[in-house]
Structure 1
Amino acid sequence: MIPFRAALFSSLVLLAAPVCAHETAGKYGGRVSDAGPYHVELVTKGQTVDVYLLDGSEKPVPAAGFKATAILVVDGKPARVALAPADANRLTGQAQVPLNAAPKGAVQLTAPDGATASGKFN
């Protein structure tokens, strides 16, 4: 019989594993998160916010027709950044203030067909 503490620890590790695996490093220098059927890679530099759209196989998805908003934590407060298609698979926008290289927050996507999805960044 497995001791209670060992069983509890194992359960917590198994529950936490999907959360930890949720965010990975991306090929554009940012962090990648699941957003519904897509993967989104968040890259910030200064006040510029770039989000790259990828499919489940990490292949680029054309950004044309997508709308997005990045909601990032800046000095403990939410900062909303409207993102618009720029080129290829990139959506871009400008924050009101400089951002660090790995801000916490989320990206909310609206696909051309009206479907919505969100990717979280911790």
Structure 2
Amino acid sequence: MMLQRLTLVAGLLGATAAYAHETAGAHGGRVADAGDFHVELVTKGESVDVYVSDGRQKPVPAAGFKGTAILVVGGKPARVPLEPADGNRLTGKAAAALGASPKGAVQLTGPDGATASGKFN
């Protein structure tokens, strides 16, 4: 009985810790860990904006980054290519409206060729 309770508590703590990695961002989106970076996903209509910051939430210039947002739209994955825009923002357009908080992932390739991804539940 004690082992079952410990297993339950460990599972709940693990789920809480995983959920805690996604927080609210400065631009009104959700923030997730992506390797050495944090990525903030902001969607409005068909527009997808991803803001990149370092581990201390300092903006990282988007120049030299490439990315893809793979988001669930109508139960199917939609791939949205992301290109650098101003400041620390990458942007792209989806074929259909995404809603305010779609599930999916953002995959980034940095200027040095290193890749990272952040997951949004």
TM-score tier by shorter-chain length is: over 0.9
Q: What 5-or-longer segments of structure 2 have no aligned partner?
A: none
> Residue 56 of structure 2 aligns with which residue?
57
> Residue 32 of structure 1 aligns with which residue?
31
Structure with greater proportional strand content: 1
Runs of 4+ residues over 4 Å off in structure 1? none
SS at match of 2:17: helix
CA root-mean-square deviation: 1.0
In 1, the alpha carbon distance for the partners of 2:113 and 2:32 equals 20
Q: Percent identity?
A: 67
Q: CA deviation at 1:13?
A: 1.8
Q: What 5-or-longer segments of structure 1 have no aligned partner?
A: none
> Residue 14 of structure 1 aligns with which residue?
13
SS at match of 2:5: helix
Residues 1:41 and 2:40 are matched in the alignment:
yes
Which amino acid in structure 1 is aligned with residue 38 of structure 2? H
In 2, the alpha carbon distance for the partners of 1:68 and 1:90 equals 11
Which amino acid in structure 2 is aligned with residue 67 of structure 1? K
**TM-score (norm: length of structure 2):** 0.96
Q: CA deviation at 1:6?
A: 1.8
- Please give the per-residue CA displacement for 1:58-113, whole angstroms capped at 9, x wherever unaligned: 11000000000000000010000000001000000000001100000000000000
Q: CA deviation at 1:10?
A: 1.4
- Please give the per-residue CA displacement for 1:31-83, whole angstroms capped at 9, x wherever unaligned: 00000000000000010000000100111000000000000000010000000
> Residue 74 of structure 1 aligns with which residue?
73
